[in-house]
Amino acid sequence: MQMATCRALIAFDPDLRTLLPAPQRSLEDVPLEFKGSPAIKHEIESLGVPHTEVGSLRVNNLPAALSDRLHDGDRVAVRGVAPAQGVFNGRGQPCFIADNHLGRLAAYLRMLGFDTLYRNDYQDPELAAVAHQEERILLTRDRRLLMRREVAYGCLLRSLDPQEQLDEVVQRYALAKSARPFRRCLRCNHLLEAVDKADVLDRLQPLTRRYFEEFARCPACDQIYWKGSHYDRMLELIEHCDAPHP
Ligand SMILES: [Zn+2]
């Protein structure tokens, strides 16, 4: 016996509608046909919206979960992730893993002191596996990657511009208040250690030697940092992210 065709309507928030296939993008309610009782998550993702981008969900005007099943005649309303609503593992401070295309964003997040893994040779299965094992938020512009089953925490970046991407992440996870610049190595993500100027004097350029007093060293890769141009740049980044958004 053939299963009957069921129908439901899904209304997406405007910011999620941009992710839908072109014909559905202008629809207030997207009609959906299905058989059986699939998980809502599956149907939403089949329309191009990764589960990580769903902030909340209502079915027939009642709160629902992505794992709930869809039934004939359901009306589903899907909201995006509101600013500061971004969920993470609750370890106090979110930590991240950035995909291969997000080197600049990874460096910016490290500048602000956030634990951010990045390599330019990570493959998709590895990104998803590390994000899962270490409860990291997966940062990517690749929707297929976020739809992988093991990805619990993820953020789909909309912008191509690294500064705007940083802004997206800072807003979504409310990072401005917990930023700690001059704390983490931009090259390798390791925490920095303060060092006496005298101990690194022989490695400094004459002008750095003359004008700067506070130094830190990465114990993993031996890179030296000082509160100079890097530091000013970090402060600028934070100020920008802190600015009110219209
Ligand atoms: Zn380092």
Residues 6+ apart with CB under 8 A from 241: 166, 167, 170, 171, 175, 176, 179
210 Cα to the center of ligand 1, angstroms: 24
pLDDT in tens, 43-63: 999 999 999 999 999 999 999
User: What confidence category does residue 105 fall into, taking pLDDT thresholds of 50, 70 and 90?
Assistant: very high
191 Cα to the center of ligand 1, angstroms: 8
User: What confidence category does residue 240 fall into, taking pLDDT thresholds of 50, 70 and 90?
Assistant: low
219 Cα to the center of ligand 1, angstroms: 7
- DSSP string of 181-228, one letter each residue: -SSB-TTT-PBPEEE-HHHHGGGS-HHHHHH---EEE-TTT--EEETT
pLDDT, position 61: 98
pLDDT in tens, 144-162: 999 999 999 999 999 999 9
Phi, psi of 118 (to 5 degrees): -155, 135
183 Cα to the center of ligand 1, angstroms: 11
What percent of the chain clears pLDDT 70, i.e. is strictly above it? 91
189 Cα to the center of ligand 1, angstroms: 6
pLDDT greater at residue 68 or residue 86: 68
244 Cα to the center of ligand 1, angstroms: 33
pLDDT, position 246: 40
